[in-house]
Amino acid sequence: MSPLLLCAVVALEPPPTVVSVVSERRGAVHELRVTTAPELASVRVDHEGSTLRMTISGLAGGAVGLPAAEGPIESISAEQHESSLRITLTIAERARLSVQREAESLSVMVVPEIDVRPADRPSVEQLYPLLFPHGLGADAPAATDVATGDAGEPGLVLGPLSINPRLIVSFIDAESTFLGTPEPTRVSYWQVVPSLDAVATFPLGNSVLKASYEPFFRRGSSLGIVNETTHSATASLTSPLSATSTFDASYRFLRGSLESREVDPGGEFFYGLGRFTRHALNGALAIDTGPRSGLTASSYYRTVGIDDPLRTAYFSHHVIGVRGGARYEVTPTAEVTAGYGHERIPEPESRSVAESSAHVAFVRVDGDLGAFMTGGVEVAFRAQQNPRAASGAEQFRGLTFSGEVRRDFSYSSSLTLGARRATLPSYFENNPFYVSTVFDARLSLPLPLAGTLTAGVAAGWNDYPLDADGLGEPRRDRLLGWSIGLARPLTGRAYLRADYRHDRRRSNIDAFDVDSHAFTVQLGVGLFGSAIP
């Protein structure tokens, strides 16, 4: 067939049309399936709150029959345009959904919430980084400090502004490394956290600005460092620049002493604590170049300032990074991004060996990874140079990774698996960096009387490039931690929780063999909305 005739045949081939929209139930799963003939055209899926919109472009016109809404699908409507069809679903509050795309069909599977309502609250892994120092940082923020989470209830709405004040009171009994040596110390104290979240929507492109502030007041301990107040503040901006581009920015401020994992997520900095200030600023631009493709560019800047470097077992430094990539939508709710990044640590004033420059090639998958399975996974090859380091530690070449995958069994039960491998700046002897590898698992299950059980386990390895003084081999730390927690909502805006966590560090340097644990009881109350951050 000649090229001219082939083009004519393609031009005459009719665009796809919607053959049927059907709804059926399989056990607890309610499925809505859209079938086309021939192959499904370009699809865009938008999910906001309880509304799911599916826009199918490149269609021929024609009447579409819609099934009746049932179960967790509360309503179904369709808007037909000249060459596209938009189907809008209203989903029951707290129902779980998964979107799957095949060659000639698009399916939405919805699981309703079960009768037992779990205690909405932060996970135990989110609690401990702001309570006391210990060795395992599996739940520390990502390298770019991208803010995530659900906004929860809107709180008090005043025009374009909604505010949600909360009060969280905790009692902590812990044994950990609060002083200048790795020897654990037993402490008990109260922590009171009055906090305020604010969300504002601007008319310009529906931009959204979010901000929060939390002071952590601690009292009752005999140790001065424990009684010091921590200040935490965040802000983020999401602004659509055009129909095909979006700009995101975020900022985080932390002023504290106990929160060593905020400074060093791998856990080398677990004793010799001191007052510090941390800033993290991020910006990202996303541009759609086609129905299923796009470009991304981002940059980040992080700085840690130590007040008293002579008494603190860590050092002040800055991290600067840029990343760029090409994105492709493999399904309506999952995308793959491949790209390049560059990161550098300018020469720190008090630790020149930590200066570094790194090139990173990465591949990342985000979104729905299967039925009721969501998450993001990134694998990268990192080539790092430390020009001022001693021989044997002047470079790192190898794979790094980070990711978290969550499988929802129902609204109130889930299993989350996480992993991370990264190079982190070191303050141990002459090592410019160490390699931190962590794997963790977290399980959430419903209990009678609207309770929730959470359990977690994490294992980590910290490895150093240079031989330790007097040891004849590099330092190696092996970390293991587990936790268990119970929670129950008291009202729609209050919860009560109790958690226990135990962490163990075993090192080939005997002085660093440490066991730490903590028991926490916490009461959270929201004034106008949810008590959950």
Contacts with 492 (C-beta within 8 Å, 6 or more apart), sequence order = none
Tell me the range of 80-84, 191-195, 317-321 where mean pLDDT is highest.
Answer: 317-321
Q: Taking 70 as the threshold, does the pLDDT of residue 119 lie above it?
A: no
The reply to whether omega before 38 is within 30° of 0 (cis) is yes
What's the whole-model pTM score?
0.76
Least confident of 172-181, 322-331, 432-441, 524-533: 524-533
| Number of neighbours of residue 310 by Cβ within 10 angstroms | 7
Q: Taking 60 as the threshold, does the pLDDT of residue 125 lie above it?
A: no
463 vs 17, 41, 435, 466, 521, CA distance in Å? 58, 50, 5, 9, 35
Contacts with 221 (C-beta within 8 Å, 6 or more apart), sequence order = 187, 188, 189, 227
Q: Taking 70 as the threshold, does the pLDDT of residue 94 lie above it?
A: no
Is residue 416 very low, low, confident or very high in pLDDT (cuts 50, 70, 90)? very high
CA 43 to chain CA centroid, nearest Å: 26
pLDDT recorded at residue 1: 47
Is residue 116 very low, low, confident or very high in pLDDT (cuts 50, 70, 90)? very low
pLDDT recorded at residue 277: 97
Domain spans in the chain, listed from the N-terminal domain onward = 16-111, 124-526
Is residue 126 very low, low, confident or very high in pLDDT (cuts 50, 70, 90)? low
Residue 354 carries which DSSP code?
G
Is residue 203 very low, low, confident or very high in pLDDT (cuts 50, 70, 90)? low
How confident is the prediction for the chain on average, in pLDDT? 84
Q: Taking 80 as the threshold, does the pLDDT of residue 484 lie above it?
A: yes
Least confident of 131-140, 178-187, 192-201, 367-376: 131-140
pLDDT recorded at residue 112: 65
The CATH code for residues 16-111 is 2.60.40.3470
Average pLDDT for 188-205? 82
pLDDT recorded at residue 399: 97
The CATH code for residues 124-526 is 2.40.160
Least confident of 214-223, 234-243, 268-277, 357-366: 234-243
- Residue 260's φ and ψ, nearest 5 degrees, are -65, -30
Average pLDDT for 261-271? 91
Q: Taking 80 as the threshold, does the pLDDT of residue 245 lie above it?
A: yes
Average pLDDT for 440-451? 90
User: Who wins on pLDDT, 70 or 232?
Assistant: 232
Measured CA to CA, the distance from residue 263 to residue 306 in angstroms comes to: 10
Q: For a pLDDT cut of 70, what percent of the chain falls above it?
A: 83
CA 250 to chain CA centroid, nearest Å: 14
Is residue 93 very low, low, confident or very high in pLDDT (cuts 50, 70, 90)? low
pLDDT tens track for 426-440? 999 999 999 999 999
pLDDT tens track for 279-310? 999 999 999 998 889 999 999 999 999 999 99
- In this structure, are strands 51-57 and 84-91 parallel, antiparallel, or unpaired? antiparallel
CA 398 to chain CA centroid, nearest Å: 24
